[in-house]
A and B are shown apart, each in its own frame.
Chain A
């Protein structure tokens, strides 16, 4: 049982490049979320999903896309990277909206 896994751990992009941050969980959780963590701002919700095929926007969705084709995977796509997207990204999953969220180890992204 690996829990929540994220790849890559570190990534450097140039402005305008696109990429996908991977997130997978093996706990059969319906709920998955993406957060970004910035100093002094805590964690902000980017997108979330309440099950396969269902996604919705969080607090800061602009510049990011998600899809949920399977229960296990919830990739986050940066369409055209900007320096403002330099951050640490965390994926999380839970069995229900009210339950404990399990976090992945994070991806540290730098956009030059």
Chain B
């Protein structure tokens, strides 16, 4: 069965610090990988996605993620966080097959201190 695990549940950083949020997935076939963000009081929106090709994916607002197939990982990174990055971040996996299912991780709450 598909599963997604995010290791960091709550991260607190100061502005300008670097960020890396871990995401590991379990799935036996072709996957598409996503990071979604939920800013306070807002609904989820796409940060970046990986379907195929270059395993280093760049998203909005300076975020990037690297797909490492051998480690079943899709970690999110940002070199220098801002206070406005305070949000909840979700990793998600969509499996192969015409199913439309997307499985989410538990989420990581990022708090950036000014």
Contact = CB atoms under 8 A, between A and B. Distances in A.
Interface in B16-75: 32, 34, 36, 43-46, 49, 51
Contacts of A90: 43-44
A109 to B, nearest CB: 15
Interface in A59-77: 59
Nearest to A31: B100
Given A50-B98, A98-B32, A42 B105 contact: yes
A36 B36 CA distance: 15
Contacts, number: 66
| Interface size class, chain B | 20 to 34
Interface string A35-48: 10000111111001
Given A50-B99, A56-B99, A100-B49, A42 B104 contact: yes
Contacts of A103: 43-45
B102 interface: yes
Given A103-B45, A104-B43, A45 B101 contact: yes
A50 B99 CA distance: 7
B82 interface: no
Given A40-B106, A43-B104, A97 B99 contact: yes
B36 to A, nearest CB: 8
Interface string B79-114: 000000000001010100111111111110000000
A92 B33 CA distance: 17
Contact of B106 (A41, A56, A59): A41
Given A43-B90, A48-B100, A94-B100, 6 more contacts: A42-B6, A43-B44, A56-B99, A97-B97, A98-B32, A100-B49
16 contacts: A33-B100, A33-B101, A35-B104, A42-B6, A42-B104, A42-B105, A45-B104, A94-B100, A96-B100, A97-B101, A100-B34, A100-B46, A101-B34, A101-B102, A104-B43, A105-B43
